[in-house]
Amino acid sequence: MDAVLWDMDGTLVDTEPYWITTEFAMAEKYGASWSQADALELVGSDLLDSGRYIRKVMRLELSPEAIVEELLDGVVEKVERDVPWRPGAVGLLASLRAEGVRCGLVTMSYERFVAPILAQLPPETFRVVVTGDQVELGKPHPEPYLTAAAALGVRPDRCLAIEDSNTGAKSAEQAGCLVLVVENHVPVLDGPRRVFRDTLAGLTAEDLKVLGRP
């Protein structure tokens, strides 16, 4: 393991409820229909794909880009008030930093949502940050993870990805990464390069080094 590549929403921080609350607020604002099933359908997805889905389901006249910006307005306001860290995430980052293991952040959220979260962590916690507005093809396409590995100068098959969704796990797996899956809001299917744990709490850099070994 030369590097650890982290998903953000649902993995590093539990911000999925922020997105879902904002989606329902949009539906109420525009007098549109929206369901919990619709909200969960978007977990881990590229934001523009989410914007297109919302536009279709809510029957909005707004462009997908405008929908994304309105969503971001809502979730950025919430995360600036409180960053809801996932159990064990900050401790595991500290352990990896102490062992000299490089970390990258691979998220489909945009930079303006990521910035207030990173501001709560020590500088250089993530050597590379790949956001949804920096890639042409978002998760589940492998481009985000391939981009992060290349920026770190490591082979994808020497990276461990940490994910909480099928969309993200598929992206990392297709890039060649081993995937540590910690389910959160949605169930994740089994896969040949997926290792499951109930929580990050208590895990250390040493624990990650032996994942996937027979």
- Measured distance CA(18)–CA(136) in Å, rounded: 25
Is pLDDT of 32 > 70?
A: yes
**Section 5-23 average pLDDT:** 93
- Measured distance CA(157)–CA(3) in Å, rounded: 10
CB atoms within 10 A of CB 99: 12
CB 12 within 8 A of CB 184: no
**Section 5-9 average pLDDT:** 95
Instruction: Give DSSP secondary structure letters for 15-52.
Output: -HHHHHHHHHHHHHHHT----HHHHHHTTT--HHHHHH
**Section 147-163 average pLDDT:** 97
**Section 179-205 average pLDDT:** 94
The three-state secondary structure class of 103 is: strand
- Measured distance CA(170)–CA(164) in Å, rounded: 11
pLDDT, residue 214, reads 55
Selection from 167, 145, 170, 114 nearest residue 4 by Cα: 145
pLDDT, residue 212, reads 64
pLDDT, residue 185, reads 83
Domains in the chain, please, with CATH?
A: 3-14+84-209 (3.40.50.1000), 16-81 (1.10.150.240)
- Measured distance CA(134)–CA(144) in Å, rounded: 9
- Dihedral sign (CA 18, 167, 109, 182): positive
pLDDT, residue 1, reads 85
Q: Rounded mean pLDDT of the chain?
A: 94
Residues 109-149 pLDDT 10s: 889 989 999 999 999 999 999 999 899 999 999 999 999 99
Q: Note the Cα 58 to chain centre separation in Å.
A: 24
- Measured distance CA(193)–CA(67) in Å, rounded: 35
- Measured distance CA(14)–CA(8) in Å, rounded: 8
**Section 191-196 average pLDDT:** 93
Q: Model confidence at 213, in pLDDT bands (50, 70, 90)?
A: low
Q: Which residues pair with 13 in a beta bridge?
A: 9, 85
Residues 33-73 pLDDT 10s: 999 999 998 887 788 999 999 999 999 999 999 999 999 99
